Amino acid sequence: MAALTRSTRSRGVKNSLAKWLITLGGISVLFTLVLIFLYLLYVVKPIFESAKIEQKVNISLNLADNENVLASGVDELQELAYKITNTGNIDFYHLKTSVEQATNEYSVGDKALSTSLFTGDSFNQAKVVNVVNSFSATKLLHTENGQSLLVQPSFYAKYLNDTREIIPQIYYPLGHDSLIIDEQQRPLSTLAFAMDDEKIVFVGFTQDKRLIKTSFIAEDEFSVTSDGDDVDYETIFQQIDLPSKSVDEIKVTPDLNLAFVRSGSTVYVYSLNDDDDVELKATITPTLDDKGSYLTSMALLSGSSSVLLGDSSGRVSQWFEVATESGREFKQIRRFTADNDKQGKSAIAAIYTEQYRKSFYTMSANGMVNVFYTTSEAHLWQGKLTSSQPEALAIAPRANGLTIVGNDPLDASKKSLQVFSVHNEHPEVTWQALWQEVWYEGYPEPDYIWQSTSGSDDFEGKFSLVPISFGTIKAALYAMLFAVPIALTAAIYTAYFMTPGMRKKVKPTIEMMEALPTVILGFLAGLWLAPLMEEYLPAIFLLFIFLPLSTLMAAFAWHNLPNHWKEKLPETLAPMLLIPVMILAIYTAFSLSGVLEVAFFSGDMRQYLTNDLGIDFDQRNALVVGIAMGFAVIPTIFSMAEDAIFSVPGHLTSGSLALGATPWQTLIKVVLLTASPGIFSAIMMGLGRAVGETMIVLMATGNTPILDWSIFQGMRTLAANIAVEMPESEVGSSHYRILFLAAFVLFIFTFIFNTAAEFVRQRLREKYSSM
Amino acid sequence: MNNWFKSGSPWIWLSAGGVSISLISVLGLLWLIASRGLSYFWPSELYQFDLTDEYGAKTVVIGEIYDREKIPVSQLAHLDLALDPKQEVLERLLIKTGNRELVSLDFRWLLSHNINKTQTPKDLVVVERRTNGNFYGYIDSVVLDGKKVDQNKLPELLSRVDNFQDQIDDLQKSDIGAINYQLERLRLKTRKYELQNELTAQVKAEIDSEVAILKKDYAKLEQELMGYRSAIARDYIVMRAMDGQLVTINFEHILKVTFNNKLNVLEKTALFFSQITAFLIEDPREANTEGGVFPAIFGTVLMVLLMTVIVSPFGVIAAIYLHEYAGKNAFTKLLRIAVINLAGVPSIVYGVFGLGFFVYMVGGSLDQLFYSENLPSPTFGTPGVLWSALTLAILTLPVVIVSTEEGLSRIPSTMRHGSLALGATKAETLWRIILPIASPAIMTGIILAIARAAGEVAPLMLVGVVKMAPNLPLDANFPFLHLDRKFMHLGFHIYDVGFQSPNVEAARPLVFATALLLVTIIVALNMTAVSIRNKLRERYKMLEH
């Protein structure tokens, strides 16, 4: 008895264990779907986050009375920061405490190196008045008595005992002695420069009001990572005509092509290519909204083509050259309003741009910092980092940090060097940039463009989801245009008119199509159908007429057959009787193709389309995709629609027929009406499948992301785009996340279709069972 | 006529037309793939064409006829052909001429108008080679160890080379491959000790001595290999090409020499079947455009098997829950919608999910935890066969669920009631009564899942498939099954060879053959599943009565 109870108990335990296990297994299905949804969302989410700026380090500075900071900076890994003062001294500070095993011990704020940049003989306690930055790390120091020096603070990593230490270093690309920039060696009130391996171009405004351009052309090559005492170069001095008497700011593009000279609220653009003559290329005079507004600052955007102009009412405008009917012109592309502070508008004191991306930071006169991204028009961040306008601000090389020298937040009487971390990984992506027209640099007008990669380094990714979503819809639409009529007619006939014996064979045969791998359909479409259609283009269009026509003719012929023939070939055999008729029609269409081409299209319809009608023709076009994907969708729609029609309760049709309606009338007025929700859900399912289909589109189109409804042109769909670009995208990059977004869009899209279809079907099933 | 329209009969015929078009397209598609795929294996006739071109120059072209097409004369107006003015179309032949060392293109178009004479000489041969594709021409001489010998010796010499080649393959694949594998493992072992700071001099000496032994073995094998290689390179044949040039082909490059025009139907059939076998069991050559597809078959089968192991229990359990345990409530409805959606989500989305979640997140974490010695080169943090199987398991889950549930719903409830009435618990009823009866339905579901997985390509492109895998995921090196390896797949093979290979035209027959193989597998699987299901339905009908 005891044994029996024990076994009963263990059976009970087993029973409830099984129940739990099975319930868990059942719920895991839902869990999987939710997991996919959440994971996609998790990857996508960061692209819509705005920037975050947090203080990391604050180092108090002990500056002498007449000493002030002119420049600051940080290394790529943000382990060392430096500042340059007007005495010509550079100090490097540790931003991290040394690791235990390191050879040198140091803590945050310790100096790593402190030295004077003036090592040549000619500098005599000279005061630096200007530190000019370029797009590279090279800086130009200019003293009050007109001496200039090119320096490059740089860093290298040293590995000892498995620990890494960053060591600061200073290079003098053109040697330790003063450079001669002005032929007359006068001090320069404003100065800008840019350099590449072979050439350095300086543009400056002397104190005696001459605008000059000076080029150093290397005999061999300039190097920024070696000391250049023995570098040989040729100097070309040029004077530039300036229509105005003063100069406030000068910028030289890193490709050495253009100089922007701001004089008050006018910007003069000079072309620097010619070493004989500096030509005034354009004049930019922005229209400022408010009376009394004037320009206060200017900066160049990464990529050498855009200039940013800040004004006294807190606005920044972006300008670049656009091809117009009257040649290339500088145009205002977009505007940003920097200061939404309640205290009123504050002038833009300075604009700082990132080295590689199109982001920029504005510093208002009241110390307010705003962060923008130009192309996406995103306002990423706003806030105060220092209590007033700082003495120096620099963006870290990887754009993930800021160094600022300004009032010490802990001790207002002192200055401090502060390092901030910046989290701003995906500024180029906004909802707007993804779905609206964007005006990219070098384009004549705003447009929808998907172009994720390119060969060149300073390429800006163009991520508009519009062309690829459009392609998805276009492909699905053409496929449905082709599939729905065939699938529905076939479903109607199979469910309603076909004999059970034939239905048993026909239905699985058509459903077999669903099992055919789409890669095979795609391959046939791309390598067999596309060339075939190009060759026999008229035949394809003829078929759209020939097939229905031949069917009707066959029907009419059968109608007029003598009765004893009709008995031998009953109408229920129609699909079989039609097969030879259709094959004959197809054969006729193809053999007529050549004749038609000669008769109407001067020998070749494809060439006729391109040359005479001006219609672009891709071999792998929407027609090919429509037919190939149509075949993939037919079985889905057929199978579900057939089920819906077949399960219409028999007494409904019997009633209708008994009242004298013809079978066709019964079908239209009773059966289809009753089954219409089922047919609708079949079409929804088919659409869902067409939208997400990858391989057919990938293989049967040229995958060009264009916005064109033309049946003779290809498209790129969301799914194919993912398949093409995902393997090459860098993990965690904006591109990678946007591809996830594309997948997410597909997921949501099909989710809606499928859920709607399933709801309708469940309702229908209940309705039928109640009849 | 009017009455005829009123009767609705034309519309009925039109809807019958829909069925006809569907049938024509399904059967036509299968026929197209089958005929193109099979003709790839059939030894084709070799032709010699004597041509006179527009300028009166005479040439000879040797090759296989690859394609024919008719083009309107108007397109050829620029050629200034002396044609019959009534003639509207001209025939054009695409000839596969091979001989890549002589002409840069494998193919050549000939206008039938220019052909003076077409012959099929008996002694024309096609030489299949390891590199550079086929060579068409006449055998000028066979040279054995520097001396010309009779052509009858050819089969004997070829089989000798085959023999050596087998031994070379053996050495390279198993012996040398194993040594390389062990060397790599020792390197990783050293790295692991290093990471754990346990690399003592003693351990290092042990590993070093092992490495030394392996390297010695390696040197020996390499010498053996060189021996075989030089033995193979002993003989060569001299071929005469279509323009009379003599070309020497060393035996080490020759796979097969066939006199296609000498073969009778029986011999051709034998050759046909041997080519099919070779296609199934050989490795691909020449960037996948020639040779067999064995690694792709192997990869597909292994991945699908792994997937089956994962998907079957989950799918069956979920179906049992839905049918036997779930109540009629909103949650069950939600669950059903989840199943439908899992079936409807585009496969590429699964690929994206698999890549992000399985490969980078799960795989990346596994690497950090267990394979740190291998970093920064990833072990599981990169696409591989395990991740592919997992991804496809999610994709095919609804297939198994739907089919199993259908099977369960066909089991009459009297069976359950009977079992419960006799005192069995619900779990026992399930295990002893329901599952055995439903097993054919489960089988059907699994077969359908396999068929679906075998044809799916898009997600695999992201989570593990490659065009050329250096090693199979299953081999003789411990732990035998390498779940982290990438693999080849028949479907991807079709895409890759058909669209990414440098010589698409030459590869097309092979793509058709591969497509035929894949279609055959999938259609066969589907038909099996359908027939099992049909039998099952009949059996249940009997149960009910």
Structural domains in chain B (count): 2
B74, B106, B123 - which closes a domain: B123
Q: Which residues on chain A are in Cβ contact (under 8 Å) with B401?
A: 29
* A346-356 residue pLDDT tens: 888 899 998 88
Report d(CA A444, CA A421) in Å as an integer.
37
Report d(CA B193, CA B204) in Å as an integer.
9
Residue of A nearest to B493 (CA): A519
B92, B123, B154 - which closes a domain: B123
Cα A11 to Cα A19, B435, B472: the distances in Å are 12, 18, 46
Instruction: Give a yes or no: residue B370 inside a domain.
Output: yes
Instruction: Quote the percentage of chain B above a pLDDT of 90.
Output: 26
Q: Please identify among residues 503-542 of chain B the ones whose CB lies closer than 8 Å to any CB of chain A.
A: 504, 508, 511, 515, 518-519, 522-523, 526, 530
* A751 at B interface, C-beta within 8 A: yes
Least Cα separation, residue A29 to chain B (angstroms): 7
Instruction: Give a yes or no: residue B491 inside a domain.
Output: yes
Report d(CA A709, CA A474) in Å as an integer.
7
Distance from the first to the final alpha carbon of chain A: 54
* A102 at B interface, C-beta within 8 A: no
Query: Predicted confidence band at B70 (pLDDT cuts at 50, 70, 90)?
Result: confident
B93, B123, B153 - which closes a domain: B123
DSSP percent split of chain B into helix, strand, coil, nearest 5:
60, 15, 25
Residue of B nearest to A721 (CA): B348
Instruction: Give a yes or no: residue B155 inside a domain.
Output: no
Least Cα separation, residue B66 to chain A (angstroms): 14
Instruction: Give a yes or no: residue B511 inside a domain.
Output: yes
User: What ipTM, to 2 d.p.?
Assistant: 0.89
Give the pLDDT of residue B311: 94
Pairwise CB contact (< 8 Å): B17 & A516: no
Instruction: Give a yes or no: residue B57 inside a domain.
Output: yes
Pairwise CB contact (< 8 Å): B339 & A29: yes
Per-residue pLDDT at B111 exceeds 80: yes
* A541-582 residue pLDDT tens: 899 999 999 999 999 998 888 888 888 888 888 888 899 999
Per-residue pLDDT at B395 exceeds 80: yes
Report d(CA A700, CA A703) in Å as an integer.
9
Residues of chain A where predicted confidence (pLDDT) is lower than 50 = none
> Which H or E run contains B122?
none
More confident of the two residues B355 and B92: B355
Residue of A nearest to B320 (CA): A22
Q: How many CA atoms lie within 13 A of B292 on its CB side?
A: 15
Selecting from B26, B343, B452 the residue whose C-beta is nearest the C-beta of A509 gives: B26
Least Cα separation, residue A721 to chain B (angstroms): 10
The CATH code of the domain that includes B326 is: 1.10.3720.10
Q: Which residues on chain B are in Cβ contact (under 8 Å) with A509?
A: 23, 26-27
Q: Which domain does B58 fall in, by range? A: 47-123
Nearby residues of B213 by Cβ (< 8 Å), 6 or more positions away:
none
* A37 at B interface, C-beta within 8 A: no
Q: Which residues on chain A are in Cβ contact (under 8 Å) with B404?
A: none
More confident of the two residues B531 and A1: B531
**What domains lie within chain A, and their CATH numbers?**
465-747 (1.10.3720.10)
Selecting from B338, B344, B454 the residue whose C-beta is nearest the C-beta of A30 gives: B338
Q: Which residues on chain B are in Cβ contact (under 8 Å) with A594?
A: 70, 72, 88-89
* A161-206 residue pLDDT tens: 667 788 888 888 888 888 888 888 888 889 999 988 888 999 999 9
Contact status, residue B90 vs residue B113, Cβ threshold 8 Å: yes
Average pLDDT value for residue range B517-540: 86
Query: Predicted confidence band at B352 (pLDDT cuts at 50, 70, 90)?
Result: very high
Tokens 């920064």 belong to B376
Report d(CA A178, CA B281) in Å as an integer.
76
- For chains A and B, CB pairs below 8 A equal 336
Selecting from B32, B74, B457 the residue whose C-beta is nearest the C-beta of A603 gives: B74
Q: Which residues on chain A are in Cβ contact (under 8 Å) with B450?
A: none
Give bridge partners of residue B62 from the DSSP assignment: B48
Q: Please identify among residues 85-124 of chain B the ones whose CB lies closer than 8 Å to any CB of chain A.
A: 88-89
* A724 at B interface, C-beta within 8 A: no
Least Cα separation, residue B363 to chain A (angstroms): 14
Selecting from B9, B498, B519 the residue whose C-beta is nearest the C-beta of A555 gives: B9
Nearby residues of B316 by Cβ (< 8 Å), 6 or more positions away:
B400, B404, B442, B445
* B275-311 residue pLDDT tens: 999 999 988 887 788 888 999 999 999 999 999 999 9
Least Cα separation, residue B503 to chain A (angstroms): 13
3-state secondary structure of A592: helix
- The mean pLDDT of chain B is 86
Selecting from A35, A571, A726 the residue whose C-beta is nearest the C-beta of B355 gives: A726
Residue of B nearest to A511 (CA): B26
Contact status, residue A231 vs residue A174, Cβ threshold 8 Å: yes
Per-residue pLDDT at B403 exceeds 80: yes
Q: Which residues on chain B are in Cβ contact (under 8 Å) with A32?
A: 338, 342, 394, 397
Contact status, residue B37 vs residue B29, Cβ threshold 8 Å: no
Name the packing angle between helices B9-39 and B504-544 (round to 10°).
Answer: 120
Interface probe for B, chosen from A22, A23, A684 (most Cβ of B below 10 Å), is A22
Prediction pTM value = 0.89
The CATH code of the domain that includes B61 is: 2.30.30
